[in-house]
Amino acid sequence: MTKPIEGFSKLSKEDKINWIAEHYTQDSAKSVAILKQYWNEDEKLQKLHDEFIENTITNFYLPLGIAPNFLINNKLYAIPMAIEESSVVAAASKAAKFWQSRGGFKTTVLGTEKVGQVHFMYHGDTEKLIAFFKLVRPRLINSVAPIVKNMEKRGGGIKSIELRNKTSDLDDYFQLHCTFETLDAMGANFINSCLEGFAHCLKEEAQQYAEFTDSEKDIEIVMSILSNYIPNCVVKAEVSCPVSDLKGHHGISAEDFAKKMVRAVNIAKVEPYRAVTHNKGIMNGIDAVVLATGNDFRAIEAGAHAYASKDGRYTSLTHASMDNGIFKFWIEIPLALGTVGGLTTLHPLVKLALEILQNPTAKELMQIVAVAGLAQNFGAVRSLVTTGIQQGHMKMHLLNILNQLGATEEEKIRLVDYFKKHTASHSAVVVAFEELRNKK
């Protein structure tokens, strides 16, 4: 039985690897070899990667692909995407090419407001707390002046601080609800530093407030943290064209295709079981670009799904309509992204990805990422209402199956050619592979 280990983080990288391989893998020598195989031969570059997180033992690779031909606000982009799912880059690229000749994607940033909160417990007279907050609010802002100084010089900073009474939800619970403009930074460190400054000042000022009783002075700070729910940091991306321009989809008339697309989106609006998968497809495109540009895809995911529930039920993040002969397809989604700070200035591939995107501002990156999500959703829904999702997906997944089966390069070439004319399911690929092998 493996025993707990003390001081793992203090071990050398070699010792960490040897310990994990010896205690948690069947073939320790093979495991060590695999881990070291993924090290970068440039020691300086490898050290940079080692220091991104704690207890690093190796690098975990994801493919970095390019989806070209994205025409966004009349500017052409090639979008880097880091993802392991086989059909995502292909679907995005196909959608980009389709819309490039139909006016491309149009985008608008609707807001860039970030949110953070100081959560605290107060036992006493609410009216006294309100009066105290009005008095102390300027002091809260002044308490973080050194932190905010540089951000304000660039046009950002604190936008608002308000006291919110949450006692109807939880006894004695109040919060400072704060909003920020962080410009090209995602802003997590900046916001959290401001919030902790507010919390310290709030507690200190309460001790000096003469109107409070002793128990009222004893404000308990529970936590100070940014929120990944940012309903006022939103971007809209859209495409539109005459319905007649939608022809050429597997023998379906342009009008029928448009109707099918609108119906499919409307189903995702009213049926949560469908909406979750529908939105997951959107996030396939969004997460891939977010990851490639060194941003926090977990935060983006959380915020997007919360936004999909903002009206009381979980629903589609995309919308579609067909009015007066015009088909429209659009998305509104919250995206808190940065192009400075964090991995954006450290990770060489992140820096290259941003260069490929022509070094966008945070606002421009919001628009690019939203477009990737919209394109991905258009491609997925188009497949669902025409050929079905599996035909295109399994053809893209074909090489993964052949690699699992240990196919040679010659076998891959022959089987890829074979499945250009045949339906590619996992079982069909296995049968075709075995038949090819048996002929030899």
Q: Annotated active-site positions, please?
A: 85, 280, 296, 393
* 8 A C-beta contact, residue 376 and residue 88: yes
Distance of CA 404 to CAs 69, 88, 316, 412, 433, Å? 32, 20, 35, 12, 11
What's the CA gap between 206 and 212, in Å, rounded?
8
* 8 A C-beta contact, residue 180 and residue 156: yes
* 8 A C-beta contact, residue 95 and residue 69: no
Q: Which amino acid is at 75?
A: K
How many distinct helices (H) and strands (E) make up the chain? 16, 10
What's the CA gap between 108 and 234, in Å, rounded?
9
Q: Is 405 strand, coil or helix?
A: helix
φ, ψ at 426 (rounded to 5°): -60, -45
Strands 157-165 and 173-181: antiparallel
DSSP per residue over 116-137, as a string?
A: EEEEEE--S-HHHHHHHHHHHH
What's the CA gap between 239 and 376, in Å, rounded?
13
Q: Is 323 strand, coil or helix?
A: strand
Distance of CA 327 to CAs 72, 73, 101, 259, 275, Å? 18, 18, 15, 9, 21
Across 122-207, the runs of DSSP E, i.e. the strands, are 157-165, 173-181
User: Of 19, 58, 22, 17, nearest to 37 (Cα)?
Assistant: 58
Nearest 10 degrees: CA dihedral of 291, 395, 370, 364?
60
Q: What is the DSSP letter of 296?
A: -
What's the CA gap between 65 and 79, in Å, rounded?
8
Q: What is the CA radius of gyration of the chain?
A: 27
* 8 A C-beta contact, residue 215 and residue 123: yes
